Each structure stands twice: as structure tokens, then as C-alpha cells.
Amino acid sequence: MIKKFIDKLLGKPAGGSKARFGRRTEVPASVHRIDPNLVDERAINVTRTLQQAGFEAYIVGGAVRDLLLGLRPKDFDVATDATPEQVKNLFRRAFIIGRRFRIVHVVYGRGREHEVIEVSTFRAYLDNAAAEQVKGNERTSKRQLEGIQHAVDSSGRVLRDNVWGPQDEDATRRDFTVNAMYYDPETQIVVDYHGGIQDAKKHTLRMIGDPATRYREDPVRIIRAVRFAAKLNPLGFKLESKTAKPLVEAATLLADVPQSRLFDEMLKLLQTGHALASIAQLKHLGLAKGIYPLLDVVVERADSDFVKAALADTDRRVGEGKPVAPSFLLACVLWADVRDGWAARLARKEHPYPALQDAIDEVFDARIGDVSGRGKLAADMREIWMMQPRFEKRVGATPFSLVEQARFRAGFDFLRLRADAQEVEDTLADWWQEFSMASDAEREDLVQAAKAEQQAKPRVRRAPRPEGEGAAPRAAKAVPEAMSEETAAEGDAPKKRRRRRRKPGGGEGSGSVE
């Protein structure tokens, strides 16, 4: 173990690490009262396989916290003294992932039904002083030096976390006491070093060690503090005052965190089933601005009917165990920018669809940049937005082709939220709901009825409605129907060649689903 080598070099007395890294307490089942039936069989299989191979292995982290509270965890993580390579060799479908923090994903099942048990190796708690002293010692081997190199920067921020160590140090380098407990499903013992069980009973979120130092080690812990406070608040949990006090001042440290990591943490904040509660916590803790620019936009718009409905819908889907996609939620958050930019271009008599595409590009450049790689996320968002004017065209071949698109449900759910926010008429969303579920003959009747309705009205397409004062003019007559007929969608079949298309699969709207 590298950490034992470090202790030897630094001349630490025997038992010193115990005083520094907490006292091991083994709590039996008669005390903690965890229900074994709440433990996932796959997590049990992983720990058992590792133990039979001669390694230590425990269920760890939030799963243990939830089990103590009598809840069935959604995810199970395992911690072990086996290295990632040793773990990988024990399982048929196991994959080493990550660079800054190397872990193993053990995969059970296939397709959308697959489950992943995340396995991490016990990490050493390596502070700045110890890292520098060891790197400068001539007795440090090349392999040991590679494990420690650039582990901590001059400010104390942990850059790499791949230095293995004993369990007591692994517990100390975790964030909150209630997330630093280890459960052995074989012996049903909970191993606790920092009073996590007592804090769980008191419903207290307490940082291990000095909070300011821990935020400096990894500023992302600031966002994690908000997320856990939001998640556990319904259960009565509160951030300890000493843990909450440095948050605002420490938020400036996030400027040195890679944008891609902040983007991922923002999505976790919004997509773990507590988006509205997380935004409330950000405001309560004085962190409504400054964590991440796109998150600032979410918080700013969370009180608008449309974005609030999208956040509530995301929370609902997560609570029901349904998958969610960041593309849908972000498309909702940034729709106001796209809509207003599009309306302004239509007011300048620009061609409708190129105008919409230009508005989308402008929003991507201003709000998202290259952090997402502008790959599938951006493509899905663009498709959702580009569908919206096509929903207004309910005659010809457009309805038949649109309903067959892979992202139709996402686009329709987006339209439904717009109707709920009174941005478009409810009758439009109701028509598409009925059309999507109808038989071929019923669809023909619906199209004919829509055509008759259209012929009875002026042939004018309205631009999207800007929101709030200072928005672009509405430009109600900017898009003639004749123009939209020609440009509504690429690939629409000519009316004479239109053929009946099969009905898409039913089911509840899945706009949040990839």
C-alpha cells in the first residue's frame, strides 16, 4: 500500500492514522436494523465474489445511508481493497472507466434493462504536505511516484484520486459522515468511522473534517452539498451550520474546475428527482448565481410556468423510475432564447426554417458552447425545437411523417408543456395526442377535419410569442401559409403520392427519454 509506505517515510507512530482517520466501529444488525431484503442481489453477488477471492468488499456510500433509513436504494456502490484490474478479472462483464478516478462498472443484464454495480478501490487520504514530501524522497520508487504525481495542487485541490489506501483513510476522504459507512451483506455489520449512524439518526448532514479544507480539496463538493441537502430535506435532514457556512466563499473555487465536469454535476443536480428542491436550496444557501452559467439560467427561469413545469415533470419521471434525458430539460430551459431569436428574425422577413436554425445556433454558442461536444445532446435539442413549427401544420403529408420520427414523443411532450404554459392552444396539443394514437382511417379523418378548419380561417402563420417586456415584436403576419407549405419539412411526400403510415407505439409521453 502506497499510504503505508508514506507513513513509514514520514515517521508516523503506530496507531497514529487511527487517531487521525477516525476509530473503526462495527455496528451489528441488532443495532442498525437494516432489512436485508432491501439489498440488491447483484450488489450482494459482487461483494461475495470479491470476498471469496480473498479481498475486502462492502456496500458503501448513499446506499448504506438509505438502508439505515429503511429506504430501498436506487443505486448500489461497492468498495474494496482490490485494484481495478483485480476487480475486472473477476467478472465476465466488467469495464474500467475514468482517469481522474478509476473505477469498475460490473454490468448485469443487457439493453435498457441492464444494471450497473460501481466498484471502487479504497483510496488513500493524501494531503498536500504528505504528497510533496514523498515525491521529494529519493526512496520513492518510479511506480509509487506515478501514483502520487500531481495528486494535489499547490492550493490543496485533489487532481487525481488513484492512490490506493486502507479503509479508514477511504472513509475520511469521502464527503459526509452519512455517506462514509460500509455494509457487509454477509455478516450484516456496518463499519462506521465518523459517527455516520448517529448523524443519520439526528438527520444531520455533516462534512468529515474541516469543511473549508474539504471544499478546497474538491470544489465540486459544494454542488454535492446542495444536492444532498435537497435530496434529504424531505426526510428532515439539514446541513450542519459549520458545513454550510463556507459554501458561498468557497464557490469561487469552482472557476478552476473543468467546464465539462461542472456541466455533468449540473445535470446530476437537475436529474436525480429533486430539481425543484435543489433550486430552492441554491437560493436558500446564497448560491443562486455563480456556480455555472447555464445553471444560473435554470435558477433564473425556474419560476416561469414553462420551465417550472419541465422541472416538475423531470422530478415526476425520476420518482416513477422512468429515464430522463438532459436534452429535453435543457431544450425547455433555453426555449425562450430560441423562440425570441426566431421571432426577431421573422420580423426581419427572414425565411422561417433557416431563421429557426440560425436562432438555435446562436443559443448554442451563447449558452452551451463546446462543453457537451455539440454531439447527441445538441442534435436532440435541435430536433425537438425544429419540430415545433411542424406541429402547426396538420394537413398534407406532414402529420404522417412527423409522427414516425424517433424523437416524436420528445417533441410532442415539449408541445404539451408549451400548451400547459398557454404558449400555444390546448386544441393543438389535443389534436396531436389524438392523431398519434389513432388508426390510419381515423388519422385521415383528423387531417381532413384540420384541412376544413384551416380553409375557414385566414391563411396566416403566427410567429412564436416572445415572453416578457423588451422581447422581440410578435410579427403575427411574418410567415405566410404558402411559404410554410413549401418549407415545413424536408422529405414530405407530395400529396398525390402520400401513403398511409403505421401507427407509432403508444404509451405515456416520454419527452424526457432518449
Helix or strand (DSSP H, E) at 334: helix 326-347
The C-alpha atoms of residue 130 and residue 110 are separated, in whole angstroms, by 44
Q: Which of 7, 40, 66, 175 is catalytic?
A: 175
Query: Any catalytic annotation for residue 218?
Result: no
In this structure, the number of other CB atoms found within 10 A of the CB of residue 159 comes to 12
The C-alpha atoms of residue 305 and residue 424 are separated, in whole angstroms, by 13
The C-alpha atoms of residue 81 and residue 73 are separated, in whole angstroms, by 23
DSSP labels, 195-224: SHHHHHHHTEE-BSS-HHHHHHH-TTHHHH
Place of cell 448565481: 289
Contact 232, 200 (CB under 8 A): no
Q: Is 293 exposed, middle or buried (0-12, 13-18, 19+ CB in 10 A)?
A: middle
At 54 the three-state DSSP class reads coil
Helix or strand (DSSP H, E) at 427: helix 426-437
DSSP labels, 441-505: HHHHHHHHHHHHHHHTS--EEPPPPP-STTPPP--TTSEEHHHHHHHS-TTPPPGGG----PPPP
The C-alpha atoms of residue 409 and residue 511 are separated, in whole angstroms, by 5
Query: Which among 209, 216, 208, 227 has a CA at the least distance from the CA of 252?
Result: 216
Query: Any catalytic annotation for residue 380?
Result: no
Query: Any catalytic annotation for residue 313?
Result: no
Q: Which segments within 111-160 are labelled E, that is strand?
A: 115-121
Number of H helices, E strands in the chain: 26, 12
The C-alpha atoms of residue 425 and residue 419 are separated, in whole angstroms, by 6
Q: Which of 7, 40, 77, 492 is catalytic?
A: 77
What are the CB-based long-range contacts (under 8 Å, 24+) for 434-437? 435/394, 435/399, 435/403, 436/403, 436/408, 436/412, 436/503, 436/504, 437/503, 437/506
Amino acid 500 reads R
DSSP state for residue 365 in the 8-state scheme: I
CA angle 6, 10, 16 (to 5 degrees): 85
Among left, alpha and beta (phi > 0; psi -120 to 50; other), residue 33 is left
Catalytically annotated residues:
75, 77, 175
